[in-house]
A and B are shown apart, each in its own frame.
Chain A
Amino acid sequence: MDSIALPAGGRAGTSNPAAAARRSEAFAGWRLAGPAVALLALLILLPTIAVVALSLTDFELGYDEIRFVGLDNYLELLDDRTFLISLGNTLTYTLIVTPLSVALGLGAALLIEADVRGRALFRTVYFLPVVSLLVAMATVWQYLLHPTIGPVNALLRLVGIAGPNWLGGSDTVLLSLAFIGVWQAVGFNMVLFLAGLTAIPRELYAAAEVDRAATAWDRFWLVTWPMLGPTTLFVVTISVINAVKVFETVSTITQGGPNRASEVLLWTIYQEGFVYLRVGYASAMTVVFLGILMVLMVLQYRALDQRVHYT
């Protein structure tokens, strides 16, 4: 704190008002932060501890009995076919959606940034899915991809291809959901890349042109790509995190089916915990899910950290 010129009051008086001021500042601080602290403890801290604790029990909602079962739930997970399928599907989904949505987001950003014509219009169009109600748009996609009355298969029929039952077949369902996921995520990634692109100093391109990069392709690899590095890392991690959290489209369209082919983590947790009410077991799944997210988010923080250092 800055030294404040105190009114003449003798040496003994100077420390007491200062201490009093500190006390009142501390008091004010706690009073202002109090509600947030209470809610933080009640709604985040406590439930997180509780979910870990519950995962060690056989608690089921509706039954009064609750028994400590140690790591039994986790051991059961290792043998649970549905859960393992769910993990595998979530991984597949993420591995499809992440690279595609990042690459297309980058591509769109580069093309939009390259020239002024239509810039605002295209940015708006590509961003639309981000602000649209996903449940509603999933419903629309379900209609578009309908095997018999859907326009997609009708188009394919025009060129003589018999389209599959996109969302109804166990071979194509995850792919179709991933497609919708990409459609929804590209605009978000594009905007992050656009922000990254505008932060690149123009002089670098001029210098690159003078130097040796004659074509746009050369300039991309010499300037844009390295300068975008931190942004890209960041977009990748956030895309992975969002893909792992896929829920809305599955819940709206497929409910995990057909044949568990679109069973994903959050859907499985939702079913176990909130439909079958096996809270203890679902808590164990949640802890695994949270563990996966934590690892990803730590990676994301690292990416964010790097991004800050670059700029």
Chain B
Amino acid sequence: MTPQAWTLARALRLAILSVGALVFLAPYVWMLSTAMKPREEIFSSSLTLIPERLAVVENFSKAFTRVPMLQLLMNGVIVCTIILVVQVLVALPCAYALAKLRFPGARTLIAAIMLGLLVPIHATALPIYVALSGAGVLNTYFALAAPFMISVFAIFLFLQFFRAMPDDLINAARLDGMSELGIVLRVIVPNAWPAITAFSIFSVVAHWNDLFWPQIVVTETAMAPPPLGLIFFRAAEAGDDYGALMAATVVVTVPLLAAFLLAQRRFIEGITLTGLKG
């Protein structure tokens, strides 16, 4: 192959990828641009990216006052934290027991977990909703977190990870007289950080972005996580004030995007884990 052909191929590659990148970035660029534009410019010159008059303060102050934006972000953080902590606390010991201990019913349990992987939230939502509604706990953090307190996927993932862990480590701890729970806390957890990190990112991204379940159990703006809050915001705005709306989308999108840009490799690892889950 001649050097010239190489340069042509290289240029072509860069050209195609760049055009694609423009399409992928366009929404972000316009989101930022529109969030800074005053109303009249949004309606008159949608192709100009730099606004003539900056309306940053105006738009963002609307985004923070029309809905309790800080409260929404807080709700998201609280719910994601509850879900993640419970998921990990429940899954770690279970996965350890399945990987390293012999007890009757372990095989059945593994089969149940594999079957559980096939059942999405959409299938169990109706009965769980009826139960939560009957208990009178709709519009609570508990209702938002309840169906996700068990993650069969977390158990499955940790199980794979623990199986590969050497038994010597655990036997040594047992000889030292550690209890099984002590082994989980002091031997397993410190060695399982890569799996725990990957799962955490997967879990937080999934639940921070989820709309389906919050839309079912929450009707009060004060309890809404960010995606649902955005829906309420749109309803309150009659969907016309695009400047404020874009400012609000910037506010709810930035936290995860910033985290992603800071820890890209881990994010990609964590999210592509869903490839195993579906």
Which B residues lie within 8 Å of A130 (CB)? 271
Would A126 and B20 count as touching, CB distance under 8 A?
Answer: yes
Knowing A33-B109, A135-B231, the reply to whether A28 touches B97 (Cβ < 8 A) is yes
| Nearest neighbor of B201 in chain A, beta-carbon distance | A131
Would B211 and A247 count as touching, CB distance under 8 A?
Answer: yes
B94 in complex: contacting residue of A32, A45, A158, CB < 8 Å: A32
Would B10 and A117 count as touching, CB distance under 8 A?
Answer: yes
Which A residues lie within 8 Å of B252 (CB)? 133, 135-136
Measured in the bound complex, the distance between the Cα atoms of B116 and A29 in whole Å is: 20
B81 at the interface (CB under 8 A from A): no
Measured in the bound complex, the distance between the Cα atoms of B268 and A188 in whole Å is: 9
- Fill in one digit per residue for A267-290: 1 if any B CB lies within 8 Å of its CB, else 0: 001100110000100110010011
B83 at the interface (CB under 8 A from A): no
Chain B contact residues: helix, strand, loop or mixed: helix
Would B275 and A234 count as touching, CB distance under 8 A?
Answer: yes
A211 at the interface (CB under 8 A from B): no
Would A133 and B150 count as touching, CB distance under 8 A?
Answer: no
Which B residues lie within 8 Å of A192 (CB)? 272, 275
Chain B, interface residues (CB within 8 Å), range: 35 or more
Measured in the bound complex, the distance between the Cα atoms of B16 and A31 in whole Å is: 57
B208 at the interface (CB under 8 A from A): yes
Would A35 and B94 count as touching, CB distance under 8 A?
Answer: yes
- Fill in one digit per residue for A122-166: 1 if any B CB lies within 8 Å of its CB, else 0: 111111111111111101110110000111001100100000000
Knowing A125-B25, A191-B268, A297-B118, the reply to whether A133 touches B96 (Cβ < 8 A) is no
Q: List 12 A-B contacts (CB under 8 A).
A: A30-B105, A35-B90, A35-B94, A36-B94, A51-B124, A114-B13, A133-B230, A140-B28, A237-B278, A251-B212, A279-B130, A286-B122
Binding site for B on A (CB under 8 A): 1, 22, 25-33, 35-37, 39-40, 43-48, 50-51, 54, 61, 104, 108, 111-112, 114-115, 117-118, 121-137, 139-141, 143-144, 149-151, 154-155, 158, 183, 186-188, 191-192, 195, 216, 234, 237-238, 241-242, 245, 247-248, 251-252, 266, 269-270, 273-274, 279, 282-283, 286, 289-290, 293-294, 297-298, 300, 304
Binding site for A on B (CB under 8 A): 9-10, 13-14, 16-17, 20-21, 23-28, 30-31, 34, 42-43, 46-47, 89-91, 93-94, 96-98, 101-106, 109, 112-113, 116-120, 122-130, 133, 146-147, 149-150, 152, 155, 179-181, 184, 205, 208-209, 211-212, 215-216, 226-228, 230-231, 234, 242, 245-246, 248-249, 252-253, 256-257, 260-261, 264, 267-268, 271-272, 275-276, 278
Ordered nearest first, which 10 A-B pairs have the shortest CB separation?
A29-B103, A36-B94, A47-B124, A39-B150, A50-B127, A32-B93, A136-B249, A32-B97, A29-B101, A135-B227
